[in-house]
Structure 1
Amino acid sequence: MDTDSRDVRAHGNETAAGSSTKQYTAHLERSRRVWDRWSDWYGMSERDFEPIRERAIDRLDLQAGDRVLDIGCGPGVNFEHIRSQIGSDGELVAVDYSPEMVANARNRIDRHGWENVVVHQADATTVDFDESFDAAVATLSLGVMPDAHRTVENIHRLLVPGGQLAVVDVRPTPSGPLRLLNPLIWRFFRWYANWNPANDVPGSLHHTFTECELTETAVGGTAYTMICRRAGSAVEAGNSDPETAEQ
């Protein structure tokens, strides 16, 4: 499917309210360049983070027929695991801003013949859809966003009441003697992934979602998983959409 699919109403050209337009746009465009550059060299990262990504997805307890949003999908590293749980009756919708990553993700879809997986090139902070999602995942993506807080708010709005978000991300070492290495860690994250030190991903998640739990850490605490749940119930979810659902 192409990016003009009927349920996408906002692509990446709007700047999130409350962000400096110039800084926001500069970070977004640098992310595009960085991830275009890494689009053909993602294999090592895909393998190294596969266990923690899959454990995070498993915590969502996805069901056959669920509709799932993958934010900052890269070359589609989560697609196979998610699809194995939602089946052919579910729907996986993915978003990434890098044209090269999107091209690789679509190639992955074509190779597997997945008819219920679609990828859109769009800014996750402003992207919009006509239908809500039962669950969402954001693996190694929120920390590189130009405005993670606004992105988290947008994901929350797109979830059905009771819907869950699984986040895997990285951060400087939170405690212990390894904190002395944080300046080097910051520089590496910035060079490798255009990591944005202005983002407080855990803080944004706790501020936006009713329930949020840190479920796993790895690599000296620099990698972590959080599972968050939007307030509400399955009854409300059956009657909700992004326009009318409770904020």
Structure 2
Amino acid sequence: MNTAASRNANTAASSDRGQGYTDHLERSQRVWDRWSDWYGLSEKDFEPIRERAIDRLDLQDGDHVLDVGCGPGVNFAYSRSQIGSEGQLVAVDYSPAMVENATDRVDQYGWENVEVRQADATTVDFDEQFDAVIATLSLGVMPDAHSTIENIYRLLAPGGRLAVVDVRPAPSGPLRLLNPIIWRVFRWYANWNPENDVTESLHHVFDECELAETVFGTTAYAMDCRKSNGSDRFGGCCSQSDIDR
């Protein structure tokens, strides 16, 4: 799908979901366009937990992987090192500036098996399913994380796995006293959406899901989720022949 057609499809889909959804999506685009050239400030801080999350996917040579809310492509090099030159990495982000930076990174390193699209992760569709999905620091800022997670589930092949890294106000302990400040920082910096309950939605949608680790006083966390073999509760995108390829 070309960029113009993708943008038109995203606009039509978001308008069908109501003005609040559209407003949040457009504000996210403005926020992440603004931060697109400064993302390196947080890239290194979260690199260890991101790489550990990808490690737990147990990716194999030739796997087909989706990176949701890819930003400027901070996961590309590490993910690609796991799937090899025969694998395929497809990445989506709604921010045109982030997509441009991610594409520049792909071009810089000559990664022929990495594709970047500008798309709304809640509605994006593909012709075949993925072996694994990565969503780092992206689900919490979605206008509708629950619907996005349902779409991720649909895009995963049976037996596929999802690795999530995200942030939240402190769920317990003394740090909870700072939650009003934490909430405002998340909202200002990333357009974090307080209406999302990412962990609850993951447990509700996926057949298996567990909290793998927390860092930064439990305000950042990693979740590992799995779609059972033979399970397709939200309707798969592909025929069995597609999945077997």
TM-score (norm 1): 0.91
Aligned counterpart, 2:10: 12
Moved segments of 4+, more than 6 Å:
none
Using the alignment, how far apart are the partners of 2:228 and 2:237 within structure 1? 14
Aligned counterpart, 1:28: 25
SS in 2 for 1:48: coil
Using the alignment, how far apart are the partners of 1:85 and 1:189 within structure 2? 31
C-alpha RMSD of matched pairs (Å): 2.2
Aligned counterpart, 1:242: 237
User: Percent of pairs identical after alignment?
Assistant: 70
* 2:184 counterpart of 1:169: no
SS in 1 for 2:223: strand
Counterpart mapping for 1:167-206 below 5 A = 167-206=164-203
Q: Of 217, 225, 228, which aligns to 1:228?
A: 225
> In 1, are the aligned partners of 2:71 and 2:99 still within 8 Å (CA)?
yes
Number of residues of Structure 1 aligned to a counterpart in Structure 2? 237
Alpha-carbon displacement from aligned partner over 1:154-178 (angstroms, at most 9, x marks no partner): 0000000000000000000010111
1:212 deviates by 0.1
Using the alignment, how far apart are the partners of 1:221 and 1:241 within structure 2? 34
SS in 1 for 2:79: helix
Aligned counterpart, 1:82: 79
Using the alignment, how far apart are the partners of 1:200 and 1:40 within structure 2? 29
The verdict on how the C-alpha distance between 1:2 and 1:10 changes in structure 2, with shifts beyond 3 A counting, is: closer
* One-letter code aligned to 2:101: N
SS in 1 for 2:44: helix
> In 1, are the aligned partners of 2:54 and 2:134 still within 8 Å (CA)?
yes
Alpha-carbon displacement from aligned partner over 1:124-167 (angstroms, at most 9, x marks no partner): 00000001000000000000000000000000000000000000
Aligned counterpart, 1:112: 109
* One-letter code aligned to 1:50: E
Residue ranges of structure 2 left out of the alignment (5+ in a row): 241-245
The verdict on how the C-alpha distance between 1:158 and 1:16 changes in structure 2, with shifts beyond 3 A counting, is: farther
Using the alignment, how far apart are the partners of 2:225 and 2:139 within structure 1? 14
* One-letter code aligned to 1:33: R
> In 2, are the aligned partners of 1:11 and 1:127 still within 8 Å (CA)?
no
> In 2, are the aligned partners of 1:132 and 1:158 still within 8 Å (CA)?
yes
> In 2, are the aligned partners of 1:12 and 1:122 still within 8 Å (CA)?
yes
SS in 1 for 2:10: coil
1:2 deviates by 5.3
The verdict on how the C-alpha distance between 1:66 and 1:10 changes in structure 2, with shifts beyond 3 A counting, is: farther
* One-letter code aligned to 1:132: Q
